[in-house]
Amino acid sequence: MDVPATLKPVQKPTSDAQTHNGAELLIKTLADLGVDTIFGYPGGAVLPIYDALFNNHDLKHVLVRHEQAGVHAADGYSRSTGKPGVVLATSGPGATNTVTGIATAMMDSIPLVVLSGQVPTSVIGNDAFQEADIVGITRPITKQNYLVRDVNNLESVLREAFHIATHGRPGPVLVDMPKDMLNSRAKFKGTKDVDIPSFKPTIHGHQPQIAKAARMLSEAKRPLIYVGGGAILGEAWKEVTEFAERLNIPVTTTLMGLGAFPESKPQSVGMLGMHGTWYANMAMTECDVLLAVGARFDDRVTGRLNGFSQNSRKIHIDIDPSCIGKNVDVEVPIVGDVKRVIPAIDKLATPPQISEWWDTIHTWKKEHPLVVPKADDQIYPQHMIKMISEITEGNAIVVTDVGQHQMWAAQHYQYNHPRSWITSGGLGTMGFGFPAAMGAAMACPDRDVVCITGDGGFQMLTCELATAVEYKIPVKIAIMNNACLGMVRQWQQLFFDNRTSYSVFGSNNPDFVKMADAYGMIGMRATNPKEMREVLEKGMAIKDAPVLMDFSVVKEENCYPMVPSGAALFEMVESDEECKK
């Protein structure tokens, strides 16, 4: 287009108040989107961003020591607050290091925005130094991902990325940014509205289905509400709690749903599934009407499918239609936001007459409580969790790694608050716990954050001790030290004739207390219940710095109840002896 020379805008190549380079635009947009903290690690491709972060006061950047930990930290930040977590990594190895973290978030539907650097557009596809096709690599583990070639699209892509990560069923979104794009200039538009015609999640449930669900629940003889992580993600804990209390229907939660319904309430039957309570698994087996709320009938919950809740009519509320009818046939599917659908059912339902059902459940509870070993002069894992629950009065944010300690922490801590239980449920990622706890502690400075971890999983990302010390992140690391990969050892004992192949560390573990000392933080050890109490009381009192507590626990203890893989829920076993049969 020909424009008279006098009307042409004057081209200022640099430091133009009207335009910003991609890196500045990125920071400006993040701040505009309400992002206050990002977890990152620098490298060549993202140097323009680090330059823009230098002396920047809009955003807090936390320098982690490994990009995987950065993603887990952002994940913990998100799980504890509901806000999206943000990560920054350089191209190539930086980006590939984020993969496990992204997959972890994807499996648990956690909203994250992962920002990766990329080689300049002119050399993309040339096997340039530190080039990796991260958009291709992360395609199956992101909800959406982008390569931004044109700086003029950067702001709108970022807004779209945050929108997609946080709406509908949440999930991670990756934005890949070539270095030359980060150096090119464009205007900041500040248009907040995001409209993606192809992305319109269903929020309100189908009214006739809602009415049918209400009728089924009102007429049920043995109803059960089965609450999953969707009730936490959808912030529907208040609605679920009021509903279950008013109708006086028993509630079980999944591993991901812990905290969505207070376990102190009489309606709670605790967690179900592979290491769920006897009574929750039996209630699931025997119920006649099942209301699934933001849960996905995962194989760790259902056990053998043809033995799963055979006589129940099933209602399933989920925001993601692909979760409904995937593993288990459902009579009443309701696609929608649980926060809207539950009150809609509540309006139409009347409390069912179920005193006999309650009698049955109370009998189960009495006859098959959670197994806790008798106290002696050793630390039993279950006692360790119970003591943490007691000393924190059930008010801490508990973050775990993966293994036996995770299951005991799920069973024996009493969860009464949402967003207070953070664990990698879907992917089961060892190494998740400690960095996720850092993220939660940074996001929630007013809460106690306890990281209950195994000696195996903790060693996967111990580099983050440096981060915790540098930023004085007051996370309480409680290592359940059984000198082995406990959950692997348990399976080998029970299903492989006790051939403990490569699962026992024995004396090859480091001295964790000395390790803490090397990083300049407080470390304490306890080998008996008395020391445990002292260590925990001292440790929990530290509010301005990280602390590491190493608890030597009984090594051979196994986690029960357990539904052996391939068994039905009602075939769960409660002890080693029973398992041998």
Ligand X SMILES: Cc1ncc(C[n+]2csc(CCOP(=O)(O)OP(=O)(O)O)c2C)c(N)n1
Q: Which is nearer to another protein, 139 or 221 (CB)?
A: 139
Could you tell me the end-to-end alpha-carbon distance of the chain, in angstroms, rounded to an integer? 84
Q: How far is the CB of 320 from another protein (least distance, A)?
A: 7
Residue 573 per-residue DSSP state: B
Residue 556 and residue 490 in contact, taking contact as beta carbons nearer than 8 Å: no
Question: Catalytic annotation on 577?
Answer: no
Question: Catalytic annotation on 179?
Answer: yes
Residues binding ligand X: number (CB under 6 A): 19
Q: Which is nearer to another protein, 202 or 416 (CB)?
A: 202
Calculate ∠ Cα 348-349-353, nearest 5°: 160
Q: Which of 29, 97, 145, 467 binds another protein (CB under 8 A)?
A: 145
Helical pair 207-218 and 338-348, crossing angle rounded to 10 deg: 60
Residue 170-209 contact track with another protein, rule CB under 8 A, x = bound: --------------------------xxxx----------
Residue 45 and residue 117 in contact, taking contact as beta carbons nearer than 8 Å: yes
Question: Catalytic annotation on 129?
Answer: yes
Q: How far is the CB of 237 from another protein (least distance, A)?
A: 25
Per CB under 6 A, does 108 bind ligand X?
Answer: no
Phi and psi at 551, nearest 5°, equal -105, 115
Per CB under 8 A, does 306 bind another protein?
Answer: no
Q: How far is the CB of 303 from ligand X (least distance, A)?
A: 19
Q: Which of 149, 304, 326, 368 binds another protein (CB under 8 A)?
A: 326
Helices (H), 381-498: 381-391, 404-412, 433-443, 455-458, 465-470, 486-495
Q: Which is nearer to ligand X, 321 or 564 (CB)?
A: 564
Residues binding another protein: number (CB under 8 A): 20
In single-letter form, the type of residue at position 258 comes to L
Q: Which is nearer to ligand X, 65 or 405 (CB)?
A: 405
Q: Indicate which residue of 118, 131, 177, 179 is catalytic.
A: 179
Distance CA 540, CA 537 (A): 5
428 binds, among another protein, ligand X, none (CB under 5 to 8 A by kind): ligand X
Distance CA 48, CA 59 (A): 16
Q: Which is nearer to another protein, 194 or 483 (CB)?
A: 194
411 binds, among another protein, ligand X, none (CB under 5 to 8 A by kind): none
Distance CA 428, CA 476 (A): 21
The number of residues in the chain equals 581
Residue 104 and residue 424 in contact, taking contact as beta carbons nearer than 8 Å: yes
Question: Catalytic annotation on 67?
Answer: yes
Distance CA 161, CA 187 (A): 19
164 binds, among another protein, ligand X, none (CB under 5 to 8 A by kind): another protein
Q: Dihedral of the CA atoms 432, 436, 437, 440 (nearest 10)? A: -160
Q: How far is the CB of 565 from another protein (least distance, A)?
A: 20
CA-nearest of 340, 301, 307 to 323 is 301
CA-nearest of 307, 313, 306 to 288 is 313
Residue 203-242 contact track with ligand X, rule CB under 6 A, x = bound: ----------------------------------------
Question: Catalytic annotation on 130?
Answer: yes
Q: Which parts of 425-484 interact with ligand X (CB under 6 A)?
A: 428-431, 454-457, 480, 482
92 binds, among another protein, ligand X, none (CB under 5 to 8 A by kind): none
Task: Give me 183's structure tokens.
Answer: 């150096």
Distance CA 469, CA 548 (A): 11
Per CB under 8 A, does 518 bind another protein?
Answer: no
Per CB under 6 A, does 411 bind ligand X?
Answer: no
Q: How far is the CB of 141 from another protein (least distance, A)?
A: 10
Per CB under 6 A, does 402 bind ligand X?
Answer: yes
Q: How far is the CB of 123 from ligand X (least distance, A)?
A: 33
Residue 31 and residue 59 in contact, taking contact as beta carbons nearer than 8 Å: yes
Distance CA 76, CA 465 (A): 16
Q: How far is the CB of 308 from another protein (least distance, A)?
A: 17
Per CB under 8 A, does 358 bind another protein?
Answer: no
26 binds, among ligand X, another protein, none (CB under 5 to 8 A by kind): none
What's the Cα-to-Cα distance from 19 to each of 16, 148, 178, rounded to whole Å? 5, 18, 18
In single-letter form, the type of residue at position 568 comes to A
Strand 185-187 to 19-21 pairing: antiparallel
Q: Indicate which residue of 106, 284, 487, 572 is catalytic.
A: 487
Q: Which of 140, 208, 506, 566 binds another protein (CB under 8 A)?
A: 140
Per CB under 8 A, does 135 bind another protein?
Answer: yes
Q: Indicate which residue of 129, 207, 221, 238 is catalytic.
A: 129
Per CB under 8 A, does 321 bind another protein?
Answer: yes
- 291-314 core/surface letters (b: 16 or more CB in 10 A; e: else): bbbbbbbbebbbbbeeebbeebbb
| Contact residues for ligand X, defined by CB under 6 A | 401-405, 428-431, 454-457, 480, 482, 485-488
| Contact residues for another protein, defined by CB under 8 A | 135-136, 139-140, 143-147, 164, 196-199, 320-322, 324-326
